[in-house]
Amino acid sequence: MRLRMAARLVRGLLVAISATGLMASAEAQEKKIKIGVVFDLTGPLAGGGSELGYIGAKIILDHFAKTGVEGYKIEAVYADAQSKPDIAINESVRLLEQEKVDMVLGFFSSAQCVPVAARVEQLKKFMWMTTCISSAVFNDKGYKYVFRPQASGDQFGMMTMDFIAQNAKAKFDKEPKDLRVAIIHEDGAYGVDVSRGNEAGAKKAGFNVVMKEGYSATAPDLSALVTKLKRAKPDVIFHTGYNPDITLLLRQAREQGLKFGALMGHGAGYGVYEKLKEGMGADATYIFNTDPISIWLANQKTMDPKLPAVIKMVGEEFDKIRPGVAIRSAHVGIGASNTFVFMNDVLPRAIKKYGGVDPDALRKAALDTDIPEGGTMLGFGVKFYGEGTPMSGQNERSFPVVIQYIDDKSSVVWPKSQAQRDAVLPLPKGTTYSNQ
């Protein structure tokens, strides 16, 4: 009798232990991270590159939603910033306070990133920026919870100036001091930041800056700006804009007979070749753009061997969404790569090393990130400036490249270490804007 009772007790204990294990297992399976994703899906910024960045980020988030991360389910909650900074702020706060997301990710426009970062930091929540570039997001802010693997705007401006400086004599047959350059930009945080990099680069190179002017990206008429450019007679125009302002500028430049030797763009609208060609036709050929390298142009031989398969997957998924696109925009790869860094590197570390997905665990995990060059789909590495530094939260290993559009293809032309072909400089004789 006693043996039977003991056996029943043991069996009961085992059932209880098993049930407890099942409950723990179910509880573990229910663990999840909710990620608020904010891009511009409507308004002018959508077509200027934001929607493409959203597609890239969503492809990666959808992939990890299927696999999970270290036992955590991935749930993405999407919001449309509508190309308006106030909407971006309101949607970010709504996601954090009402939808109870654990963090916010995305953001295309620097005009949105600057105020949103301040608000998220104030709330002591975690923010991961995939796309916007303004240095003003971080400069002397001392943020703890805001991180960006993307290159900063001043790097864009410096890169294009260095490219032209190194090619001034060989391509233009002019010393840098004799080269006439114009710097024009949309007057938001993005344009102002890149133009500062342009100015610093122009000073370093010794260029003759014949014009520098900002304008509103929503201006209905840019003919006065074109008139000033005609009077300035620049050899090279350095332009930072979105779209449709880029198309408007170039159409009015064509109508007014503006001539120059090269047009250097800096991301945003210049990174969406389909829009450039739609607005300019054959005149989109020979335009330059500065951006992180397209993941489809990056040198896979020097890349982490696990990444080419991811790049292939992103390309295949994008082609399903946007079939027949001549050039996959760099914005798609930027959104995908920078989202992948978070999902593949930062998030697993936060869970395994720091015990979860609260803001402090994510912050500590981000600060531990140490990815060498070649460790991302964009080619650069990732290491964030630490707390107490002027640009804390910015990736110190990021860099953009200069590409040129020729015959419906984009090729890296600078720096030399990444170049795929020689740049066509200046614009060939007989082309619409050529001053030859």
- The predicted structure's pLDDT at residue 412: 92
User: Which stretches of 31-154 are assigned E, i.e. beta strand?
Assistant: 32-39, 73-80, 103-106, 126-129, 146-147
pLDDT at 392: 96
Amino acid of residue 21: G
Q: Any idea which of 20-24, 86-90, 148-152, 226-230 has the lowest mean pLDDT?
A: 20-24
Is residue 25 pLDDT above 50, yes or no?
A: no
Tell me what the pLDDT averaged over the chain comes to.
Answer: 91
Is the pLDDT at 339 greater than 90, yes or no? yes
Instruction: From residue 9, give the alpha-carbon distance in Å to each of 15, 17, 19, 365.
Output: 10, 12, 15, 46
Residue 6, pLDDT above cutoff 80: no
CB 95 within 8 A of CB 72: no
- Interval 182-224: pLDDT, tens: 999 999 888 998 999 999 999 999 999 999 999 999 999 999 9
| Residues in contact with 23: Cβ distance below 8 Å, sequence separation at least 6, in sequence order | none
What pLDDT shows up at residue 8?
A: 55
pLDDT bucket at 4, cuts 50 / 70 / 90: low
Q: State pLDDT tens for residues 293-307.
A: 889 988 888 899 999
The tokens for 272 are 């969406």
**Selection from 126, 101, 154, 59 nearest residue 359 by Cα:** 126
**Vertex 35 angle, CA 29 and 36, to 5°:** 150
Q: Which two tokens stand for residue 23?
A: 């409950």
Q: What angle do CA 87, 88, 93 make, to 5 degrees?
A: 95
Measure CA 214 to chain center. 22
Sole residue written with tokens 């030797």: 261
Question: Which domains, and CATH codes, for the chain?
Answer: 32-151+300-367 (3.40.50.2300), 154-291+401-414 (3.40.50.2300)
pLDDT per position as a tens digit, 69-127: 999 999 999 999 999 999 999 999 999 999 999 999 999 998 999 999 999 999 999 99
pLDDT at residue 348 is higher than 80: yes
Q: Rounded distance, CA 408 to CA 32, Å?
A: 43
pTM of the model: 0.79
The DSSP call for residue 294 is P
Mean pLDDT of 44-57: 93
How distant is the alpha carbon of residue 84 from its chain centre? 18
| Radius of gyration for the chain, computed over Cα atoms and rounded to the nearest angstrom | 25
SS3 363: helix
pLDDT > 70 in the chain, percent: 93
**What are the residues whose beta carbons fall under 8 Å from the beta carbon of 267, sequence distance 6 or more?**
49, 133, 156, 194, 240, 289, 290, 291, 330, 400
Please give the pLDDT value at position 340.
98
Residue 138 burial by CB count (10 A; 0-12/13-18/19+): exposed, middle or buried? buried
The yes-or-no verdict on residue 7 having pLDDT over 70 is: no
Q: Residues 382-407: what's their mean pLDDT?
A: 94
Q: What SS3 state is found at 369?
A: coil
Q: What average pLDDT does the segment 16-42 reach?
A: 70
Residue 264 forms beta bridges with which residues?
238, 288
> What's phi and psi for 74, nearest 5 deg?
-110, 120
Give pLDDT, residue 12. 53
